[in-house]
């Protein structure tokens, strides 16, 4: 597939006009899958909560009040959409599971409660399972979308960051560059960390765009990721590694810049250095952040494979239903763009976003 064909496949909407979701919360369902099973013992209680029309923070505050604990003692793995029906795990310290099952919450319900030795921390999830309804005013041509489904399952989807990562005005990365150039300690460290994270994301997206023709392959000097174990290694033998990439055993990675980031070699080192120059980033060995900020860096796979990806037409109306599972850090917005083009968020009258981006810097 050429670059132009890939871009057209990703950006072209179906011949149905703009699709929309979240006409009602029932159109958007998310189930969080935990990173590990509870042990049944310990001083923390994990509660599985279904919420409707509420933010994760609102539910966390209400759980804290109901349990008589400080809000800082309530843990959760990540934020979930407000305009949706979502199920996710929270942890409470020192609360009996039987008592937690009886909590009366606003537009939310505790479905399960189990003991565990420690608190849930940010990122402690295996992934999210989605069931999304997309509606249209005209008939939806499903066959072109099914062809894209087949391609994304085979090749994986480009693992770019969604536009919501870059702020309402899209200028978070620009503000981060000014912050780094200024060098003075930020007044609001949390806000500054998010800005730097946005710049890391924009640099990654630029590196992915340079590779969009072959995001599912490997180049000489790549830092590749073993899909089964998550381990990283340098690609020094294309004859050996290209078949492994085609079989989805390994995937190339892109830069999340930072002082400890594993750098590529050969062709990929030159490609990433050119991108860093474009963003006016120094050599990572000399990268200095303002006091109070830290960016260790990481490698992010250029692609992810959506599991259980399937679509079906809606009964009695125009549109389609989509089901899939995505790992942490993958954006549902990107998957929808690859399948059907732009999607309208009916709850906001804006371009679709899938929740609030995580803060923090890699």
Q: Which amino acids are annotated catalytic?
A: 81
What does the alpha-carbon distance between residue 134 and residue 21 come to, in Å, rounded to a whole number? Answer: 5
Sheet holding 223-226, edge to edge: 232-234, 223-226, 250-256, 298-301
Q: Helical H runs in the chain? A: 3-11, 56-67, 97-101, 142-155, 172-182, 189-210, 238-246, 266-278, 332-340
Contact 38, 92 (CB under 8 A): no
Contact 274, 264 (CB under 8 A): no
Other CB atoms within 10 Å distance of the CB of residue 245: 23
What does the alpha-carbon distance between residue 232 and residue 218 come to, in Å, rounded to a whole number? Answer: 13
Other CB atoms within 10 Å distance of the CB of residue 213: 14
| Rg (alpha carbons) of the chain, rounded to whole number | 22
How many angstroms from the chain centroid is the CA of residue 196? 17
Contact 350, 163 (CB under 8 A): no
Q: Helical H runs in 37-171? A: 56-67, 97-101, 142-155
Identify the DSSP state of 105: B
Cα distance from N-terminal residue to C-terminal residue, the chain: 33
Give the position of tokens 């409470």. 92
């Amino acid at each position: 597939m050429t670059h132009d064909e890939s871009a057209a496949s990703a950006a072209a909407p179906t011949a149905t006009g703009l699709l929309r979701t979240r006409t009602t919360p029932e159109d958007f369902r998310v189930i969080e899958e935990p990173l590990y099973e509870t042990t049944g013992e310990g001083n923390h209680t994990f509660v599985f909560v279904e919420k409707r029309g509420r933010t994760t923070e609102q539910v966390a505050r209400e759980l804290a009040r109901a349990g008589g604990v400080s809000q800082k003692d309530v843990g959760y793995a990540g934020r979930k959409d407000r305009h949706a029906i979502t199920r996710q795990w929270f942890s409470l310290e020192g609360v009996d599971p039987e008592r937690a099952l009886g909590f009366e919450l606003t537009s939310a319900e505790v479905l399960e409660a189990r003991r565990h030795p420690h608190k849930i921390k940010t990122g402690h999830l295996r992934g999210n399972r989605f069931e999304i309804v997309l509606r249209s005013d005209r008939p939806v041509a499903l066959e072109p979308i099914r062809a894209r489904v087949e391609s994304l399952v085979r090749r994986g989807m480009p693992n770019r960051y969604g536009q919501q990562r870059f702020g309402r005005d899209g200028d978070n990365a620009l503000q981060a560059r000014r912050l780094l150039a200024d060098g003075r300690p930020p007044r609001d460290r949390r806000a500054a960390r998010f800005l730097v994270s946005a710049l890391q994301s924009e640099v990654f997206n630029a590196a992915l765009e340079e590779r969009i023709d072959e995001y599912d392959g490997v180049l000489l000097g790549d830092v590749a990721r073993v899909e089964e174990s998550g381990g990283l290694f340098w690609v020094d033998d294309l004859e050996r590694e290209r078949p492994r990439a085609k079989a989805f055993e390994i995937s190339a990675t892109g830069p999340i810049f930072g002082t400890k980031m594993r750098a590529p070699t050969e062709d990929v080192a030159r490609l990433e250095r050119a991108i860093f120059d474009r963003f006016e980033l120094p050599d990572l060995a000399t990268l200095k952040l303002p006091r109070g900020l830290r960016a260790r860096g990481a490698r992010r796979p250029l692609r992810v494979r959506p599991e259980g990806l399937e679509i079906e037409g809606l009964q009695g109306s125009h549109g389609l239903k989509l089901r899939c599972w995505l790992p942490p850090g993958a954006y549902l917005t990107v998957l929808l763009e690859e399948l059907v083009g732009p999607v309208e968020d009916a709850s906001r009258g804006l371009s679709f976003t899938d929740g609030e981006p995580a803060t923090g810097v890699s």
